Amino acid sequence: MDIDDAVINSVKGFLDKEEGMRLYELAAEVSAKAPCLEIGSYCGKSTLYLGAGCRVNNSVLFAVDHHRGSEEQQPGEEYFDPETFDISAGCMDTFPCFRRTLAMGGLEETVVPVVSRSSVAARMWATPLGLVFIDGGHSLEAAFTDYCNWAGHLIPGGYLAVHDIFRNPEDGGQAPHYVYRLASASGFFDVLPMTRTLGVLKRRECGVMPAVLPEA
């Protein structure tokens, strides 16, 4: 991992170092076969780890985020950060912060920012993916839609990673846990050990998963 701790520690975000290193290792392995994609970049902490992993293979990380903040990051909500609020636009904008992170990490030749709602980015998506990291909106609808829209693009042997899995509802929202259980029960994945709140599943070699799953 060739990005300094000082750079990583300077970036706002909610990713533990151990979780980040797991993402790095997964990306460094699988990006030799296909590009990786993350949903929910925020200020780019996870992007540093995944991007550094993709860079090992001269591959690419698509980083999808509308940069207007998720539900819990809006003014008045639990995870609101006034530094990410664009007063002139009257809304959140984490893209300037994200760009600075890419520059600090030297990742501008590796990371392709996709500044869009993930559901819009998914509409015409056709590129097979080696890894999909779901860390976008944490409402049930947002997390479920991300799973439905993106998991079907994984190559056999590709990884589905889901952040913020709390088994106990008192520790955090349950939407990522719901998606994780849905994927685990789908028959399309082998469940790998978790790293803290990061769930990791590996796409099985058999079966054709629809690109967009029917709603349950």
Instruction: Determine, following the binding rule CB under 5 A, whether residue 163 of this chain makes contact with Mg ion.
Output: yes
Contact 132, 209 (CB under 8 A): no
Give the interface segment with Mg ion, choosing from 76-84, 93-101, 155-163, 204-212 (CB under 5 A).
155-163
Q: How far is the CB of 11 from Mg ion (least distance, A)?
A: 13
Q: Is residue 138 annotated as part of the catalytic site, yes or no?
A: yes
**Active-site option among 66, 138, 163, 177:** 138
Instruction: Determine, following the binding rule CB under 5 A, whether residue 55 of this chain makes contact with Mg ion.
Output: no
In this complex, which beta carbon is closest to Mg ion, that of residue 133 or of residue 189? 133
Please give the single-letter amino acid code of residue 28. Answer: A
Measured distance CA(150)–CA(129) in Å, rounded: 9
Measured distance CA(150)–CA(122) in Å, rounded: 7
In this complex, which beta carbon is closest to Mg ion, that of residue 88 or of residue 168? 168
Site for Mg ion, residues 83 to 142, rule: CB under 5 A: 135
Contact 142, 70 (CB under 8 A): yes
Q: Which residue is nearest to Mg ion (CB)?
A: 163
In this complex, which beta carbon is closest to Mg ion, that of residue 163 or of residue 202? 163
In this complex, which beta carbon is closest to Mg ion, that of residue 13 or of residue 34? 13
Q: What is the 3-state secondary structure (H, E, C) of 8-22?
A: HHCCCCCCCHHHHHH
Give the interface segment with Mg ion, choosing from 7-15, 23-31, 119-127, 149-157 (CB under 5 A).
7-15
Instruction: Determine, following the binding rule CB under 5 A, whether residue 38 of this chain makes contact with Mg ion.
Output: no
Measured distance CA(64)–CA(113) in Å, rounded: 6
Instruction: Determine, following the binding rule CB under 5 A, whether residue 164 of this chain makes contact with Mg ion.
Output: yes
Cβ burial 118-140 (10 Å sphere, 16+ → b, else e): bbebbeebeeebbbbbbbbbbee
Q: How far is the CB of 135 from Mg ion (least distance, A)?
A: 4
Backbone angles phi, psi at 131, to 5 degrees: -150, 135
List residues with catalytic annotation.
138
Residues in contact with Mg ion by CB under 5 A are 14, 135, 163-164
